[in-house]
Amino acid sequence: MRTGVLSRASARVPSFAAPLTASLLVLLFRSALAVAPEVSPAAPGDLPAPTSFTAGDRPGDSGNAKPGAERYVDTTAKDGTVYRYEIRTVSAADTSSAVPAAGGTSAASGTVAAALPAGPPLVSDPVASHDNWFRTEKTNSFIASVLFLVILLASIGAAKSGKKIFIRRIAGLNAVDEAIGRATEIGKKVLYVPGSQSMDEIQTIASIAILGHVARATARYGTDLDVPNKDPLTFASAREAVRGAYLAEGRPDLYREEMVNYVTYDQFAFTAAVSARMIRERPAAIFLVGYFFAESLILAETGQSTGAIQIAGQADPTQLPFFIATCDYTLIGEELYAASAYLSREPALLGSMRAQDIAKAIVILLGITGIIAASLGATWFAGLFKTQ
């Protein structure tokens, strides 16, 4: 058999401006490669010339389309530089060692295959890549994002305008006041660990909102609070939240800077230090709310051994089992976000909870519709939600 070889010639036409890099897609038509099977390699002069192929910028991509049997994507093409591509027919024996095969029916290479015995070339028109403002492969994400944003803004707007938004009580939240009350009664402190991640993690942001509520309660009751931190930015945010809570409760005299303290950035050094603090100072209530990794079990197990009331909150399913096994109450997944909305009663958070519920209802509706459609043979419906 013979196979096509694509080679990039040179930039012969002056380049034109384009801002960002994108890929060039060259379509190799199968007709150019359709030749009769042959046992022995043919001499270059016997090889027929390809009849046609087109080269052009692939619309709506981000420069990472995969080459297929009839396509060659030149990911090395520089944006704005004009290229010509040429395709030749060579025998399979000649290409096996020199050119990577793509799909078995054609071969493609971005390098000039001048050394190969090849038939006469067919040269494309000048072509240049350019970036695309709209990436068509992400249309479904775009529609979903816009839809959710509209729902989100409408819900927040409704909450701000005074519409009452109901959030059901979560079992773990009843325990928050109970745990702080217990700490007050026995005169021991409340330990609050806001996870081990930075403020780019949504769970940490939710945790800081809950910390604000806990700090208001400790300020109200005059209970000592200890907030050790691993991440510097979380540390800064936690300090702001606790200071603000003490001010809001009218007890700035009870606030001390060292309530919110920084330990270290290393995961297990932090874990060792906090675990040791639990054993030494025996807090009456421990909150482990935020994003935790492998330290989750060590911290929760140590806290459990001290006899403290433990309340955890985490949205990562890999660490949740440990909290469920060792803590008195656990805010599972989205309960963490709902808790921050419930406790703070801020319109923005209440509205966003409402928006998330509407989005979940839409997802359930689409899912059930999709299952019915797929059961009836309309598999294209599920394809609407596939992403690249």
Return the closest-CA partner of residue 206 out of 326, 355, 349: 349
Span from 81-89, 172-180, 218-226, 259-267 in contact with other proteins (CB under 8 A)? 259-267
- Compute the distance between CA of residue 119 and CA of residue 41 in angstroms, rounded to an integer: 12
Binder among 11, 69, 92, 273 for other proteins (CB under 8 A) = 273
HEC string for 15-68: CCCCCCCCCEEEEECHHHCCCCCCCCCCCHHHCCCCCCEEEEECCCCCCCCCCC
From residue 196 to residue 225, what is the string marking binding to other proteins with x (rule CB under 8 A)?
---xxxx--x--------------------
Span from 87-95, 101-109, 284-292, 324-332 in contact with other proteins (CB under 8 A)? 324-332
Q: Which is nearer to other proteins, 121 or 244 (CB)?
A: 244
Position 386 contacts other proteins (CB under 8 A): yes
State the Cα angle at 50 between 45 and 53, rounded to 5°.
Answer: 155
Q: Which is nearer to other proteins, 114 or 376 (CB)?
A: 376
Position 27 contacts other proteins (CB under 8 A): no
Position 145 contacts other proteins (CB under 8 A): yes
Position 370 contacts other proteins (CB under 8 A): yes
Span from 16-24, 88-96, 122-130, 373-381 in contact with other proteins (CB under 8 A)? 373-381
Binder among 264, 304, 306, 344 for other proteins (CB under 8 A) = 264
- 98's tokens: 């020199």
- Compute the distance between CA of residue 197 and CA of residue 229 in angstroms, rounded to an integer: 9
Position 157 contacts other proteins (CB under 8 A): no
- 370's tokens: 């999709």
Position 301 contacts other proteins (CB under 8 A): no
Q: Is the separation of the CB atoms in 2 and 38 below 8 Å?
A: yes
Strand pairing of 101-102 and 106-107? antiparallel
- 95's tokens: 């290409």
Position 153 contacts other proteins (CB under 8 A): no
**Site residues (CB under 8 A) for other proteins, limited to 172-201:** 199-201
